[in-house]
């Protein structure tokens, strides 16, 4: 059995040698130290107009080694630079790697905020366990990440729509070829300033209904944020682009169930009548110009083992459910709203598009937050998705506004963590 050494700390104390002493909250694990080595050659801050997602990195990174005999080692914040790995490291042969995606924001008062970072820590541990990498104390790691962000806080752009992307990663580093749980690992965190996903306003994307390739399968690893899940999606992405589509809409099984959009979770909105989905309404009534619809159904595929449990996905569902129940009001969101986690097929989406009961479709994820969809290439034709003048729909528009407000602190929420 592996020995898990927690790296949990309280009482930050900065000393002249740039070593931050912290006491373990769990004394059974003893005290430890976060060692900080400042970059002697800090880089110039980039021109924000030239930022390309994931191409620019800050001056420092966090590293924490792990070994099966000793557990977690000393956390270090050090200058951003190359990692030293032997060619036999298991990550290079068997894709023993997991990662997370988070963001830090400047609020109007100049404070730094993270958005629901506890969920990222929980999911990262779940992913680690799935491929036999060591698990860790998420609260402790989050404190170390905060320290790294504080050190490089001047890299967080203050302009609207900008943020600092945070990429925690855990890799197996055992120096041996062979498929087994690694006896060594490395957890590291890097930071990258990023601009708005849609710098010139929302632009709906076109999706290619992908049946030739499979993103995930029951019993596989689709529900975990593993590096191995992403490389196989590059070729299908190129295939979609050649046909004029921006992303893959991953379809599963002979029924062509909708699962995810590119690397995002998926939402579909249908128009409803009195709590009945449009399938229970006769077509002649649906087509009657005097027919009045009385509500909306917000649908997303269930977490069935193939779907990644996204933080943004959960946030969308929580906001919508609180609004529908009356526990919280999302300004502008329709009152009559039903939220459902259920399977959705392309047959259902296509029929709704043709009947006029398809309201909108959008992806949800850390990078874009909300990404509206305007058409799906499916079996040789385009299925059209309604969008508003601003590129969004009546549900996504107001949920996006609420999420951005909570992320940046303009809307008070315990989801926003000030560091």
Position 199 scores a pLDDT of: 67
pLDDT tens-place string over residues 258-276: 999 999 999 999 998 744 4
User: Residue 53 to residues 40, 209, 310, 368: CA-CA distances in angstroms?
Assistant: 26, 26, 19, 11
CATH number of 205-278+289-407: 3.20.10.10
- The conformation of residue 89, written as its DSSP 8-state character, comes to B
Phi, psi of 233 (to 5 degrees): -85, -5
Looking at the chain, the whole-number percentage of residues with pLDDT higher than 70 is 87
- The confidence band for 280, taking pLDDT boundaries of 50, 70 and 90, is very low
- The confidence band for 328, taking pLDDT boundaries of 50, 70 and 90, is very high
266 Cα distance to chain centroid: 12
Bridge partners, residue 384, by sequence: 375
> How far apart (Å, rounded) are the C-alpha atoms in residues 126 and 135?
8
Residues of the chain with CATH 3.20.10.10: 205-278+289-407
**Residue among 131, 135, 343 nearest 220 (CA):** 131
Strands 32-36 and 76-79: parallel
User: Over 50: is that where the pLDDT of 417 sits?
Assistant: yes
> How far apart (Å, rounded) are the C-alpha atoms in residues 65 and 29?
16
pLDDT tens-place string over residues 20-61: 333 333 322 323 589 999 999 999 999 998 999 999 999 999
Place of tokens 């682009």: 241
User: Over 80: is that where the pLDDT of 310 sits?
Assistant: yes
Give one DSSP letter per residue of 37-69, joined into a string. Answer: ---SSPPPPPPGGG--TTS---SEEEEEEEETT
Q: Look at 54-58, 72-76, 227-231, 289-293 and tell me which has the smallest mean pLDDT.
A: 289-293
Ranges of H-type helices in 157-207: none
Please indicate whether residue 9 or residue 157 has the higher confidence score (pLDDT): 157
pLDDT tens-place string over residues 170-186: 999 999 999 999 999 99
CB atoms within 10 A of CB 242: 9
Residues of the chain with CATH 3.30.470.10: 31-38+47-194
Position 33 scores a pLDDT of: 86
User: Over 80: is that where the pLDDT of 317 sits?
Assistant: yes
Strands of 141-195, DSSP E: 163-172, 184-194
Position 262 scores a pLDDT of: 94
> How far apart (Å, rounded) are the C-alpha atoms in residues 269 and 300?
9
Position 275 scores a pLDDT of: 40
CB 316 within 8 A of CB 330: no
Q: 31-38+47-194 has which fold? A: D-amino Acid Aminotransferase; Chain A, domain 1 (3.30.470)
**Residue among 291, 251, 257 nearest 274 (CA):** 291
DSSP element (H, E) containing 126: helix 117-130
Structure token pair of residue 86: 């032997």
User: Over 50: is that where the pLDDT of 290 sits?
Assistant: no
Looking at the chain, the whole-number percentage of residues with pLDDT higher than 90 is 83
- The conformation of residue 279, written as its DSSP 8-state character, comes to G
Mention every residue, 6+ apart, whose C-beta is less than 8 A from residue 351. 279
User: What's the whole-model pTM score?
Assistant: 0.88
User: Over 90: is that where the pLDDT of 281 sits?
Assistant: no
User: Over 90: is that where the pLDDT of 9 sits?
Assistant: no
User: Over 70: is that where the pLDDT of 1 sits?
Assistant: no
- The confidence band for 209, taking pLDDT boundaries of 50, 70 and 90, is very high
Angle at 395 between CA 389 and CA 397, to 5 degrees: 50
Position 197 scores a pLDDT of: 78
> How far apart (Å, rounded) are the C-alpha atoms in residues 155 and 45?
7
Position 193 scores a pLDDT of: 97
> How far apart (Å, rounded) are the C-alpha atoms in residues 12 and 31?
12
The tally of CA atoms less than 13 A away on the side-chain side of residue 92 is 12
User: Over 80: is that where the pLDDT of 11 sits?
Assistant: no
């Amino acid at each position: 059995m592996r020995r898990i050494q927690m790296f949990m700390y309280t009482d930050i104390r900065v000393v002249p040698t740039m070593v931050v002493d912290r006491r373990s909250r769990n004394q059974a694990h003893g005290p430890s130290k976060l060692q900080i080595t400042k970059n002697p050659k800090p880089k110039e801050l980039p021109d924000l107009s030239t930022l390309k997602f994931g191409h620019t990195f800050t001056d420092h990174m966090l590293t924490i080694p792990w070994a099966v005999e000793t557990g977690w080692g000393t956390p270090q914040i050090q200058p951003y630079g190359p990692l030293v790995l032997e060619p036999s490291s298991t990550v290079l042969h068997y894709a023993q790697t997991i990662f997370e995606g988070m963001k830090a924001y400047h609020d109007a008062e100049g404070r730094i905020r993270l958005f629901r970072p506890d969920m990222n820590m929980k999911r990262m541990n779940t992913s680690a366990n799935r491929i036999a990498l060591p698990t860790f104390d998420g609260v402790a790691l989050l404190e170390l990440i905060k320290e790294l962000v504080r050190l490089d806080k001047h890299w967080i752009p203050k302009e609207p729509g900008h943020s600092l992307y945070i990429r925690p990663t855990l890799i197996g580093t055992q120096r041996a070829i062979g498929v087994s749980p690694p006896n060594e690992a490395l957890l590291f965190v890097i930071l990258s300033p990023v601009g708005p996903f849609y710098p010139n306003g929302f632009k709906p994307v076109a999706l290619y209904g992908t049946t030739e390739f499979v993103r995930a399968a029951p019993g596989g690893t689709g529900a975990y944020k593993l590096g191995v899940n992403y490389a196989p999606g590059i070729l299908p992405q190129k295939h979609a682009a050649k046909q004029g589509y921006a992303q893959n809409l991953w379809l599963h099984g002979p029924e062509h169930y909708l699962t995810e959009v590119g690397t995002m979770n998926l939402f579909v909105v249908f128009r409803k009548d009195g709590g009945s989905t449009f399938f229970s309404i006769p077509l002649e009534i649906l087509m009657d110009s005097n027919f009045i619809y009385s509500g909306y159904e917000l649908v997303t595929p269930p977490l069935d083992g193939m779907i990644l449990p996204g933080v943004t996905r959960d946030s969308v569902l929580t906001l919508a459910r609180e609004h529908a129940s009356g526990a919280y009001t999302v300004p502008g969101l329709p009152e009559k709203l039903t939220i459902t986690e259920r399977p959705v097929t392309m047959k259902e989406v296509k029929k709704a598009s043709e009947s006029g009961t398809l309201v909108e479709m959008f992806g949800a994820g850390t990078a874009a937050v909300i990404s509206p969809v305007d058409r799906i290439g499916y079996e040789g034709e385009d299925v059209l998705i309604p969008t508003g003048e601003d590129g969004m729909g009546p549900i996504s528009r107001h949920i996006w506004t609420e999420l951005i407000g909570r992320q940046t602190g303009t809307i008070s929420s315990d989801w926003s963590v000030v560091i």
